[in-house]
C-alpha cells in the first residue's frame, strides 16, 4: 500500500536521473546516452535546487504564519476554543493546499508545499491540544496532556513522512515518541529504562541493516575482480567535488615561503651585522 503522493515510478525515475548525472561525470556514459536516459526517465515533477528550496520554505512559512496572525488580529479572537478552532481549520486548509500543489502543479521538494505541510502539522497539533485541554481539564497542564501532545506530533509527523516523504518528519516523530517516557510520572530509573527500550528498538533495526550491508559487501569482494554478476562493492563513480589536494596547498604556500626567506635575508644584512662596519642599508 503506497500512501505517498508520488508514485513509485516517479521516485525511481528521480533517483535514476540523479545517478545518471554521476555516471556522466565519472565518464561511464556519453552525452547521447545521458539524453536518452533523460527521455526514458521522465519524472513529471517540478524540482529546484537546495538554495531555492530553503528560500521558498522560509518565505512560505512566514507568509502563512502572518496570514494566521492577521486573521486572529482582525477577528479579535480571545477565547481558547475559538483559537483552537481557528488553528485546526487553518491547519486543514494548509494541508490540503500542500497536497493540491503536488497533485496539480507536480511540486517535488520545492519548499512551498513543504512549508505548508509542516506548518499544517504544527497548527493541527496546537489546535487539538488547546481544545482538548480546555474541554477536559479547563486549560490545566497535566502529564496526560503532555503525552497527548507528544502522540499528536508523533502521529502527524509520521503521516507527513509517509505522505510527502520528508525524512526530517520521521525524525520529529521519533523524537516525540522518545519524550513520552518522561511524561509518565515514573521513577527516574523507570523513565530511563522505557526510553532505552524505545531507542534499542530503533537501534536494533539499524544494526540489522548494517550487518546485512557488511555481509553483502564481503560477499561481493570474494568474487572475481571483487564483483559478482555485474555488481561490485568498489566505488567506480567520480565524486562531484574533489576538494583541495595536498599538491594545490603546497603550490599555494611556495610563494609565501620564498617571500619569507627573502625578507629574512634582507633583515640579516641590516645594520652591518654581516661585517660591513655597521653601515646602513643605504650605504
Buried b (16+ CB within 10 A) or exposed e, 55-64: ebbeebbeeb
The total of structural domains in the chain comes to 3
Is 7 among the domain residues?
Answer: no
Examine the domain organization and report whether 63 and 109 are in the same domain: yes
Residue 4 lies in a domain: no
User: Is the model more confident about 139 or about 87?
Assistant: 87
Same-domain pairing of 196 and 141: no
Q: Write down the pLDDT at residue 158.
A: 95
- Structural domain includes residue 33: no
In terms of domains, do 69 and 179 share one? yes
* pLDDT bracket for residue 106 (50, 70, 90): very high
Evaluate whether residue 209 is within a structural domain.
yes
Residues 233 and 257 in one domain: no
Mean pLDDT for the stretch of residues 233-245: 56
Least confident residue range of 31-40, 96-105, 166-175, 183-192: 183-192
Is 203 found in the same domain as 81?
no
The pLDDT assigned to 230 comes to 74
More confident call, 192 vs 256: 192
Do 196 and 230 fall into the same domain?
Answer: yes
Residues 192 and 204 in one domain: yes
Indicate if the pLDDT at residue 258 is higher than 50. no
Within a domain: 18: no
For the cut 80, the answer to whether the pLDDT of residue 70 exceeds it is yes
Please check the confidence at residue 161 and state whether its pLDDT lies above 90. yes
Span 37-64, mean pLDDT? Answer: 93
Q: Based on the domain organization, do 181 and 220 belong to the same domain?
A: no
Tens-digit pLDDT profile for residues 118-140: 999 999 999 999 999 888 877 67
Instruction: Judge if 173 and 264 occupy the same domain.
Output: no
Domain hosting 210: range is 186-242
Grid cell in block for residue 265: 635575508
Same domain for 214 and 174 = no
Asked whether residue 233 is domain-assigned, the answer is yes
Answer yes or no: do 236 and 251 share one domain. no
Could you tell me if 265 and 278 lie in one domain?
Answer: yes
Task: Among 185, 214, 230, give the residue marking a domain's end.
Answer: 185
118 occurs within a structural domain: yes
Q: Examine the pLDDT at 215 and tell me if it is beyond 50.
A: yes
28 in a domain, yes or no? no
Give the Cα separation of 138 and 32 in Å (integer).
68
pTM of the predicted model as reported, rounded to 2 decimal places = 0.70
Amino acid at each position: 500500500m503506497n500512501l505517498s503522493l508520488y508514485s513509485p515510478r516517479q521516485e525511481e525515475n528521480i533517483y535514476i536521473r540523479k545517478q545518471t548525472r554521476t555516471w556522466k561525470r565519472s565518464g561511464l556514459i556519453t552525452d547521447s546516452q545521458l539524453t536518452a536516459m533523460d527521455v526514458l526517465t521522465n519524472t513529471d515533477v517540478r524540482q529546484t535546487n537546495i538554495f531555492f528550496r530553503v528560500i521558498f520554505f522560509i518565505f512560505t512559512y512566514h507568509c502563512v504564519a502572518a496570514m494566521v496572525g492577521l486573521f486572529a488580529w482582525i477577528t479579535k479572537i480571545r477565547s481558547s476554543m475559538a483559537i483552537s478552532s481557528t488553528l485546526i481549520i487553518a491547519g486543514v486548509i494548509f494541508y490540503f493546499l500542500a497536497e493540491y500543489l503536488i497533485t496539480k502543479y507536480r511540486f517535488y521538494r520545492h519548499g512551498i508545499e513543504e512549508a505548508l505541510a509542516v506548518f499544517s502539522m504544527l497548527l493541527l497539533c496546537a489546535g487539538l491540544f488547546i481544545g482538548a485541554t480546555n474541554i477536559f481539564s479547563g486549560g490545566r497542564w497535566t502529564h496526560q496532556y503532555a503525552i497527548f501532545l507528544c502522540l499528536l506530533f508523533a502521529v502527524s509527523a509520521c503521516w507527513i513522512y509517509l505522505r510527502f516523504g520528508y525524512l526530517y518528519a520521521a525524525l520529529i516523530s521519533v523524537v516525540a515518541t522518545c519524550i513520552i517516557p518522561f511524561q509518565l510520572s515514573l521513577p527516574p530509573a523507570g523513565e530511563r529504562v522505557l526510553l532505552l527500550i524505545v531507542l534499542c528498538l530503533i537501534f536494533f533495526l539499524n544494526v540489522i541493516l548494517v550487518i546485512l550491508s557488511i555481509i553483502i559487501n564481503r560477499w561481493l569482494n570474494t568474487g572475481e575482480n571483487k564483483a559478482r554478476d555485474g555488481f561490485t562493492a568498489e566505488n567506480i563513480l567520480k565524486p562531484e567535488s574533489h576538494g583541495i589536494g595536498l599538491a594545490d596547498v603546497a603550490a599555494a604556500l611556495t610563494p609565501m615561503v620564498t617571500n619569507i626567506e627573502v625578507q629574512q635575508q634582507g633583515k640579516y644584512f641590516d645594520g652591518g651585522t654581516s661585517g660591513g662596519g655597521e653601515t646602513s642599508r643605504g650605504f
